Structure 1
Amino acid sequence: MTKQKYTLSVLVILCLGLVGCGPSQETKELQAKAKQMLGALPTSMPGAENDTPELIALGKKLYFEKKLSQNNTQSCNSCHNVEGKAAGVDNLPTSPGAFGKTGDRNSPTVLNAGFHFLQFWDGRAKNLHEQAKGPILNPGEMAMPNEAEVLKRLKDDSEYPGLFAKAFPSAKDAITYENLAEAIAAFERTLVSPSRFDDFVNGDHSALSQEEQNGLQTFISSGCTSCHGGKLLGGDSFRKLGQVNPYETNDLGRFNVTKDASDKYFFKVPSLRNVALTGPYFHDGKVATLEDAIKKMGYHQLGQNLSEADVTKIAKFLGSLSDKTRTN
């Protein structure tokens, strides 16, 4: 056998060996743990099975419709940008309304929102349908004076009467505020964002790098899953901000809805999906970087001073939760 042939044979054997090598025992155990404690994102949101193409198309047009704001300057997409690689937010601490007034809470991502147990930081809307009705009439947001003016604009438009009729074929008067909200919700139910983490949970051991796997292990061992658990890694409970060490804020959170003193400073736990793309962070948008957010959560919620090394590891893992179509 010539030297060249021998070298080629060795390379073939090495390649076959590498192909034959499966995941390490540690990776297998981590996959099993992640599947049990977190799980993969479902392929569709609750209620999506009833959404027709016509309803979704109408909802998408309405989502980008600036006529739904008093001065024709804002749409749903203004604060919850889903165009291109945008992750359903405006990446501002808090968002300006139609007339320039800035809100007092950070705009959460609309991606995967239909999986959440309630909507808004304080949970004041029970679902996407109810949530969609709020900003249009909010004086600090889209600032329309009332439902009647919203419907008048839609009825006077050359396209909307026909689009509503197709989306709601059995309705005598298809253009209603409830139908508007349902159409927007139908479009939002299409905004499911699968990630490399889901591939990992579903059995692809190579979907996460070793650094990301180390970060996942640190995320779990540090106790982050005590709040950020389940398929959304959050989005399914309220927790007091400053659970162990107080967090300085004047926002009373859930209390503003319930008026129950025990709800003071409680907020919906945000989902960590796409968190690497949705900064700045927290309800007030005052935390600029993901690493700083991780540090503050460790301190305020878990009573831990996470090391720089652990913060870096966790941040690496959280990056794997980003929508695969919205990352560079």
Structure 2
Amino acid sequence: MTLTRPFVVLLSVFFLNVAFAKEPISPIFALSKLNNEKVALGRALFFDERLSKNNKISCASCHQLTTNGADNKALSNGVEGQKTATRTPTVYNAVFNIRQTWSGARIDLFDQVDAPITNPKEHGTTWSEVIAKLSTDKELTAKFNRIYQSPISQQNIQHAIAEFEQSLVTTNAPFDRWLQGEQNAIDNQTKQGYQLFKRYGCISCHQGRNVGGNMFSKIGHFGNYFQDRGGEITEADLGRYMVTKKPYDKHVFKVPSLRLSSLQTHFFHDGSQDNLSDAIRVMAKYQLGRAIPEQDIQLIRAFLTSLVGQHPELTSPHEAE
């Protein structure tokens, strides 16, 4: 029997999908059907410091796209030198998160844009002030009128920035290429690290296309993380409880994506760890109740490194310590 080309292609896609289904992690692909003009406008706004009270803070101040999409500080600097309550998470691949912010207080990227603008410790401004400043920019006003057929508004600003953020998807990671059948895309150490990642139970929270970001979990299933960490327990440490006010949500946080974890300089909602190996140890202790040998930690690190994909904005990736 001679197979036609369309049938062969269809058969290949079928077996590729079956291969995906065998693993708890799936490849990540860029979103289609984004409006390029809105993406470009959103990018300009993302870097625009006029979106802050003192005209010195932009979205990009804390979400540094060239390195990892997050901040290289444990806590970010907001207006007047104030510190953010939690570590800035990466904006890369955030579109795939179940909700936005550590506590899941924001529904999606559109909703999340509002959070830093009006937060007194971050951009520290109001939408009326932002719109008033931007409206004096004739070129920007003309762009909004052309692209949105309406003047500059809170809704249009949020939409444009969210459109840009949806474009921040890192693709073609070595691990994803391996998932799609390219056996030599990762080495044996990386493959061993992935098996250990599953065997130790890390995969129970970090899975799916974003290797996290799709569920909430309490920090400290096997031990008192906050007591051992020391210091005052802040409202930010209460996590999702500050959203739901339900006692069982105390110290519950959105599980972060590990896609760019090997590029991060700080870890966890409080930025309390600045070393990836230590972060693995801490999570193993408090979330899994296990002590992972150093050799296995290094293998898991190799796997995490293979999750890093590519994006035109990610020009100077920072390798985690």
| TM superposition score normalised by structure 2 | 0.86
Q: CA deviation at 1:90?
A: 1.6
Kept after mapping to 2: 8 A contact 1:274/1:322:
yes
Matched, 1:299 2:279: no
Aligned partner of 1:205 among 170, 175, 183: 183
The one-letter amino acid paired with 2:177 is D
- Whether the aligned pair in 2 keeps the contact of 1:196 and 1:324 (CA below 8 Å) is no
- 1:60 aligned residue: 43
Deviation of 1:148 (Å): 1.1
Q: Deviations over 1:112-171 (max 9, x none)?
A: 001101000000000000001110111100111x211111011111321111112202x3
**Which secondary structure state, in structure 2, belongs to the residue aligned with residue 239 of structure 1?**
strand
Which 10-residue stretch deviates more, 51-60 or 63-72? 51-60
The alignment status of 1:282 with 2:268, answered yes or no, reads yes
Q: Which runs of 4 or more aligned residues in structure 1 lie more than 6 Å from their structure 2 counterparts after TM superposition?
A: none
User: What amino acid sits opposite 1:133 in the alignment?
Assistant: D
> How far apart are the structure 1 equivalents of 2:73 and 2:286?
23
Q: Distance in 2 between matches of 1:57 and 1:69?
A: 20
Name the CA distance, whole Å, in 2 between partners of 1:55 and 1:124: 25
Corresponding residue for residue 182 of structure 1: 159
Aligned twin of 1:157: 137
Q: CA RMSD in A?
A: 1.6
Q: How does 1:122-137 map to 2 (within 5 A)?
A: 122-137=103-118
Offset of residue 235 of structure 1: 0.2
Partners of 1:54 and 1:163 within 8 A in 2? no
Distance 1:309 1:223 in 2: 17
Identify which of 315, 318, 321 aligns with 2:301.
Answer: 315
Aligned equivalent of 1:5? none
Q: 1:160–1:35: structure 2 CA closer, same or farther, 3 Å change rule?
A: farther
The residue aligned with 1:72 is: 55
- The AA in structure 1 aligned to 2:40 is A
User: 2:19 touches 2:180 (CA, 8 Å); kept in 1?
Assistant: no
2-side partners of 1:324 and 1:191: how far apart? 10
What is the one-letter code of the residue matched to 1:199?
A: R
Structure 2 counterparts to residues 17-166 of structure 1, below 5 A: 32=19, 35-44=22-31, 49=33, 51-83=34-66, 86-144=67-125, 146-166=126-146
Cα distance in 1 between the residues matched to 2:242 and 2:193: 36
Contact 1:34 1:201 in 2 (8 A): no
| Post-superposition offset of 1:57 | 1.2
Answer yes or no: is the 8 Å Cα contact 2:20–2:179 preserved in 1.
Answer: no
The separation in 2 between residues aligned to 1:201 and 1:296, in whole angstroms, is 28
Hey, what's the Cα distance between the residues in 2 that align with 1:306 and 1:258? 34
Q: Which runs of 5+ in 1 are unaligned?
A: 1-30
One-letter amino acid matched to 1:297: M
Partner of 2:221: 243
Identify the residue that residue 210 of structure 2 maps to in structure 1: 232
CA distance in 2, matches of 1:207, 1:161: 47
Partners in 1 of 2:153 and 2:20 — Cα distance? Answer: 47
- Structure 2's unaligned 5+ residue stretches are 1-17
What SS does the corresponding residue of 2:217 show, helix, strand or coil?
strand
* Alpha-carbon distance in structure 1 between the residues aligned to 2:309 and 2:157: 28
SS of the aligned residue for 2:73 comes to coil
Aligned length: 288
What is residue 246 of structure 2 aligned with on the other side?
A: 260
Q: TM-score, normalised by structure 1?
A: 0.85
* Alignment partners' CA distance in 2, 1:193 and 1:279: 18
The one-letter amino acid paired with 1:253 is G
